[in-house]
Amino acid sequence: MSQSDRTPRVRLVDVARAAGVSKTTVSDALNGAGRLPAATREHVQKVARALGYRPNATARLLRAGHTRLLGLAAREYVETPWVYADLAYFSQIVTATTQAALAHGYGVVLLPTYGPDDCWLDIPLDGVFVIDPVEGDPMVRDFLAAGVPVVADRRALAEVPVETREAGRWVDFDYGAAVRQVLDHLEAAGAERIAVVAGATTACFHQQSVRAYHEWCAEQGREPRIACLPAPGVEHTLQAVTELLAAPAPPDALFTLVELSPPLLLDTIRRLGRSVPGDLLLACTTEDSAACYTDPPISTLSFLPGETAQAAVDLLVDRLEGREGDPGHLFSADFRVRASSAVPERRGARRG
Amino acid sequence: MSQSDRTPRVRLVDVARAAGVSKTTVSDALNGAGRLPAATREHVQKVARALGYRPNATARLLRAGHTRLLGLAAREYVETPWVYADLAYFSQIVTATTQAALAHGYGVVLLPTYGPDDCWLDIPLDGVFVIDPVEGDPMVRDFLAAGVPVVADRRALAEVPVETREAGRWVDFDYGAAVRQVLDHLEAAGAERIAVVAGATTACFHQQSVRAYHEWCAEQGREPRIACLPAPGVEHTLQAVTELLAAPAPPDALFTLVELSPPLLLDTIRRLGRSVPGDLLLACTTEDSAACYTDPPISTLSFLPGETAQAAVDLLVDRLEGREGDPGHLFSADFRVRASSAVPERRGARRG
DNA sequence: TTGAAAGCGTTACCAG
DNA sequence: CTGGTAACGCTTTCAA
């Protein structure tokens, strides 16, 4: 690959010349194809090894017509240069995607989320998994227009010209339903003023969940108490929590929709003088497994990154290998009620 | 890319035919090369757009002779199929590598850590960053033999045939020194029985750090108290901690060398009936930023994933773009003393 | 200004 | 059983 080398790589033809045979024979000998006599095969292999020959991967790909490379992009915070390290959700998506891809013999390329438009089109990809596409996402549009199969969410696919849609597959959640499930639970547990921390992006998840919260509030005749963060970050998130809890007639429940270390959030709430669940019911959208080890364990809403990634890869690979599969897969979020949003009795007991 | 399509992709030559010009003209018109009259250029562009033409990435790469793709592999737990999601260190390495690569116009491919030997050689890579190579790592050997520049640690490079070593660069730490620094600190803070949780792999980091601990114990005439984990995982790690603390004459200091959520560890220690730093001094090797928000804040040892990744990419890119740069970069670990391993006064006060 | 043709390094088809 | 030769799809040099 390296062009800057003084010594150019040894090519198939070099081996052929050195071994006194043709390119075909070398190719066959090395790939176990054809029916060469063992002697020829071994001779060629020896020469190849002696010369340090390695096939050029790019040339093989051009020949093969596919690259067995899948792209992965997290688009939620397109503006801010890549911030997914602290986000357990994206970490787990990356891991699970890589594992699933590997199991099918595919590699995974982490795609740029920002930067010169179209730069992603220079990467030789067989398919792409786009997580949290933004509204009218150009990446989804471009790949689909280029005929590269894409897995995204239903909205992203609906936004794309119908004639390019054929290569699109989707994985999706009913985000609104998930949010309402948590709100209903908190209300049933006695919460009257539920505060929410959400993201201020055009990703489907945040748009739908914020909308669901507002609708829910309207139905219940309640005043929304919501902080929308334009970017992730521990500082800002804790700050938002602090401000929400400092409001006059402070909330008696908190529901976070952005990732934040659960033990840390718990600790912060305590330092603000509130007990959980005594003064404040708590439910977190998180993939951090630490949530069930805290005291009290924290109720969590999970969007199943492992399952999602697995499904996305399967969808992509089915399409790539010519199998007619499902057009997509709808998941249900996983809400686990734990002691942090406990039943009303306990709260009444404490206060009475 | 997708071969399974009924409708084969439209190629350069198709556009040329449709526009009534030659391939050259199309290429020039689309790439802004040559000095075509504006009319021709626009005409070609219009036809290309109408046909939905997208250049084939693989073919361009073959022509270009490079792929602008960098491989990234975490080799520490080669046996276990990819377990880096919960590990803040690897997450941050991935993010930082991607960012740094992007800044140079390179993409990043996540490499398989296990699976059919050599399968990584089929991926068209310009360079590779191998984190925590194992002893005699075949991945490092193969890429170097193939003339693909590699960044790893010094040991990995030393193990490779000298004639292929030219394409190797390194980033490294003096792990032993880092470990001794922490042990010395804990001792100065009054610890007499320091327990350690480490990994049982052949990665440089674990080998050197475990050795340093044993040497330090020997020098001090102390009995080592160490748990070595063959694989990561919250359960196992907490279990190891529990066992170490349950020993007769229990340790008065704990130093973890494997990643574990700091707030969670603190919580666990407390549930075992020990206070930090009162009963137990605590220092963690971790990249989790939550460590400085706990109460008490936790002393941490960091191996600077951000800086390491940045340096690795720079080393790779310098080599690829023909610049003569450094052969490698030696880092010093970042040890931050916080209240969890506080000065002896406080411990005396509590106990007296 | 435009086009024909020569690569890039591999694999695969067919003659010999 | 082997070796020429034609793709794969693009860029670029060089003539016209």
B273: number of CA atoms within 13 Å, CB side?
A: 4
Task: Assess whether A221 and A346 both reside in one domain.
Answer: yes
In the predicted model, is pLDDT for residue A168 greater than 50? yes
Task: Assess whether B227 and B271 both reside in one domain.
Answer: yes
CATH number at residue B310: 3.40.50.2300
The residues close to strand C, meaning Cβ under 7 A, are: A 8-9, 11-13, 23-24, 27, 30-31, 33, 53-56, 59-60, 62-64; B 20-25, 34-37, 40, 59, 62-63, 65
* A chain contacts of residue B58, beta-carbon cutoff 8 Å: 58, 61-62, 67, 124
Instruction: Work out the minimum CA distance from B17 to partner chain A, whole angstroms.
Output: 19
In the predicted model, is pLDDT for residue A348 greater than 50? no
- Per-residue pLDDT tens digits for A298-329: 999 999 999 999 999 999 999 999 888 899 99
Share of chain B above pLDDT 90, in %: 64
The verdict on B16 touching A (C-beta cutoff 8 Å) is no
In the predicted model, is pLDDT for residue B77 greater than 90? no
Task: Assess whether B194 and B82 both reside in one domain.
Answer: no
Task: Assess whether B138 and B249 both reside in one domain.
Answer: no
In the predicted model, is pLDDT for residue B242 greater than 80? yes
Contact B73, B113 (CB under 8 A): yes
Mean pLDDT in residue range A243-247: 96
Contact B58, A67 (CB under 8 A): yes
The 10 Å Cβ neighbour count of residue A202 is: 16
CATH number at residue A10: 1.10.260.40
State the DSSP H helix or E strand holding residue B141, giving kind and residue range, or none if neither. Answer: helix B138-145
Choose from B91, B238, B316 for mutation: most chain A CBs within 10 A.
B91
Res A324: pLDDT: 86
Mean pLDDT in residue range B190-194: 96
Confidence class of residue B23 from pLDDT cuts 50, 70 and 90?
Answer: confident
Task: Assess whether A202 and A342 both reside in one domain.
Answer: yes
* B chain contacts of residue A284, beta-carbon cutoff 8 Å: none
Task: Assess whether B198 and B288 both reside in one domain.
Answer: yes
Picking from A246, A279, A244, A247, the residue whose alpha carbon sits closest to that of residue A258 is A244
Res A123: pLDDT: 93
Our measurement of CA A42 to C1' D4, in angstroms, reads 23
Our measurement of CA A23 to C1' D9, in angstroms, reads 21
Mean pLDDT in residue range B232-237: 86
In the predicted model, is pLDDT for residue A28 greater than 70? yes
Task: Assess whether B136 and B211 both reside in one domain.
Answer: no
Picking from A101, A117, A59, A76, the residue whose alpha carbon sits closest to that of residue A109 is A101
Backbone angles phi, psi at B75, to 5 degrees: -105, -5
State the DSSP H helix or E strand holding residue B283, giving kind and residue range, or none if neither. Answer: strand B281-285
Q: According to DSSP H, which parts of chain A are helical?
A: 12-19, 23-31, 38-51, 57-64, 88-103, 138-145, 154-158, 175-188, 204-220, 234-245, 262-271, 305-320, 344-351
Q: Name the range with the highest mean pLDDT among A33-37, A72-76, A83-87, A246-250.
A: A246-250
Mean pLDDT in residue range B323-342: 95
Q: How far apart are the first and last CA of chain B?
A: 73
Res B7: pLDDT: 63
Task: Assess whether B202 and B344 both reside in one domain.
Answer: yes
Q: How far apart are the first and last CA of chain A?
A: 74
* A chain contacts of residue B141, beta-carbon cutoff 8 Å: none
Task: Assess whether A315 and A298 both reside in one domain.
Answer: no
Tally of domains in chain B: 3
Confidence class of residue B348 from pLDDT cuts 50, 70 and 90?
Answer: very low
Res A346: pLDDT: 44
Mean pLDDT in residue range A185-214: 96
Which chain C nucleotides are covered by protein, judged by CB under 7 A? Answer: 1-5, 7-14
Q: Of chain A residues 73-102, which have a CB less than 8 A from chain B?
A: 81-86, 88, 91-92, 94-96, 98-99, 102
**Domain ranges, residue B241:** 175-302+335-351
Task: Assess whether A269 and A190 both reside in one domain.
Answer: yes
The verdict on B118 touching A (C-beta cutoff 8 Å) is no
* B chain contacts of residue A267, beta-carbon cutoff 8 Å: 263, 293-295
Our measurement of CA B3 to C1' C1, in angstroms, reads 36
Question: Cα(B199)–Cα(B231) distance, rounded to whole angstroms?
Answer: 7
Asked whether the beta carbons of residue B110 and residue A94 sit closer than 8 angstroms, the reply is yes
Q: Which of A31-45, B44-58, B227-241 shows the lowest mean pLDDT across its residues?
A: A31-45
Q: What is the DSSP string of B54-103?
A: ---HHHHHHHHT---EEEEEE-TTSSSS---TT-HHHHHHHHHHHHHHHH
- Per-residue pLDDT tens digits for B126-182: 999 999 999 999 999 999 988 899 999 999 999 999 989 999 999 999 999 999 999
Mean pLDDT in residue range B202-221: 96
Pick from B55, B77, B92: which residue ends a domain?
B55
Identity of the amino acid at B138:
P
Asked whether the beta carbons of residue B122 and residue A57 sit closer than 8 angstroms, the reply is yes
Confidence class of residue A3 from pLDDT cuts 50, 70 and 90?
Answer: very low
Res B247: pLDDT: 93
Question: Cα(A276)–Cα(A308) distance, rounded to whole angstroms?
Answer: 31
Residue A69: beta bridge partners?
A107
Helix (H, G, I), strand (E, B), or coil: what is residue A245? helix
The verdict on A196 touching B (C-beta cutoff 8 Å) is no
Task: Assess whether A146 and A194 both reside in one domain.
Answer: no
Residue of A nearest to B8 (CA): A147
Helix (H, G, I), strand (E, B), or coil: what is residue A239? helix
The torsion angle over the Cα atoms of residues A231, A232, A236 and A242, rounded to 10 degrees, is: 120
Question: Cα(B324)–Cα(A4) distance, rounded to whole angstroms?
Answer: 11
Asked whether the beta carbons of residue B1 and residue A123 sit closer than 8 angstroms, the reply is no
Confidence class of residue A41 from pLDDT cuts 50, 70 and 90?
Answer: confident
Asked whether the beta carbons of residue A99 and residue B82 sit closer than 8 angstroms, the reply is yes
Instruction: Work out the minimum CA distance from A124 to partner chain B, whole angstroms.
Output: 5
Choose from B9, B61, B90 for mutation: most chain A CBs within 10 A.
B61
In the predicted model, is pLDDT for residue A89 greater than 70? yes
Question: Cα(A144)–Cα(B52) distance, rounded to whole angstroms?
Answer: 10
Confidence class of residue A39 from pLDDT cuts 50, 70 and 90?
Answer: confident
Task: Assess whether A47 and A85 both reside in one domain.
Answer: no
